[in-house]
Amino acid sequence: MKKNTKRIVISFAALLFLSVPLAAQELNEKQKENIDKISYSYKMVYEMLRDAKKGDRTSQVEVPNWTKFLENDLKEAKTLNIPDDTPVETLYETLTIAELRAKLPELIKEAKEAEYGANKGKYEKVEKVLKLLSGDKHRMYKDDFKDSQLYGANGVRLESPASIKNSSIWCTVSTSGPDYAPRWEVTIYRFSGMKFIRKDSKSGKGRNPPGTAFR
């Protein structure tokens, strides 16, 4: 009888261990580090979406980056074999890995909407420019220059969609070197109509290129 009792006790202990969710069992250091990253990324997304709704431009612009960080952290959790029922503590609520994965698509959608709202004017300008372009100019503007400040002949800023369309050169400006000895560089993209011809570059001392560099 004593032997049977001991066997029953051992079996009960085993069942008790199995009844504890895997999430409550000990995580290794890499897994703990990942949980901390998920917690921080979610906190940032939560706060930025909250502030974006209040009109904070920095939050509107930056929140898509943090939803990407959260997405990558959750992918890492899967790679590290962290159980889906693992709780993640944040300042605002406790969610499991599975619950965070379920929330992620809606968070990404809200982040994109916030960023679009902050940059609506820029996106509308890009759409207007692209409607006027075709061929190489359309492809290059869409892929490479929609976020760039372009200059035309003599360093004139190309601000309007029509000026971007009609200019036979698109120029970008960059600087390099230490503060005490900066150098400017102008990269010139030459077109014949909508067809790209070639790329040239000019450089010189100082921060501001002369108008003659934009030719």
Domain assignment of residue 140, given as a range: 122-213
In angstroms, how far is CA 148 from the centroid of its own chain?
A: 18
Percent of the chain with pLDDT over 90: 72
**Inter-residue contact 59 to 113 (CB < 8 Å):** no
How high is the mean pLDDT of the chain? 87
In this structure, is residue 105 part of a structural domain?
yes
Q: Look at residue 25 in the predicted model and tell me its pLDDT.
A: 57
Number of domains in the chain: 2
Q: Does residue 11 sit within a domain?
A: no
Q: Bigger pLDDT: 92 or 157?
A: 157
- Residue 13: which pLDDT band, with cuts at 50, 70 and 90? very low
If one compares 1 and 107, the residue with the highest pLDDT of the two is: 107
**Among 85, 102, 118, residue at a domain's last position:** 118
Instruction: Give the pLDDT score at 106.
Output: 96
Residue 126, in any domain of the structure: yes
Alpha helical stretches, state H, the chain: 2-19, 29-53, 57-79, 97-118, 120-132, 135-140, 161-166
Q: Is the pLDDT of residue 95 over 90?
A: yes
Q: At what angle do helices 97-118 and 29-53 cross, to 10 degrees?
A: 40
- 113 and 27 within one domain: yes
Does residue 98 share a domain with residue 127? Answer: no
176-206 residue pLDDT tens = 989 899 999 999 999 999 999 999 999 999 9
Q: Are residues 129 and 58 in the same domain?
A: no
Residues 121, 122, 124: CA angle, nearest 5 degrees: 65
What's the confidence (pLDDT) of residue 123?
A: 86
The last residue of a domain, from among 118, 147, 182? 118
**What is the C-alpha separation between 109 and 12, in angstroms, rounded?**
48
Q: How confident is the model at residue 9 (pLDDT cuts 50, 70, 90)?
A: very low
Task: Look at the block and give the residue holding tokens 């109509």.
Answer: 193
**What mean pLDDT is predicted for residues 132-155?**
94
80 is a domain residue = yes
DSSP 22: G
Tell me, what's the pLDDT at 140?
A: 97
Q: Which two tokens stand for residue 16?
A: 């008790």
Cα dist from 179 to 173, 202, 204, whole Å: 17, 20, 14
| pLDDT value of position 116 | 86
Among 118, 151, 170, residue at a domain's last position: 118
Query: What proportion of the chain, given as a percentage, has pLDDT over 70?
Result: 88
- d(C-alpha 171, C-alpha 115), whole Å: 27
The CA distance from 145 to 129, in Å, is 11
Say yes or no: 60 and 107 in one domain: yes
Give per-residue pLDDT as tens, 109-123. Answer: 999 999 888 888 888
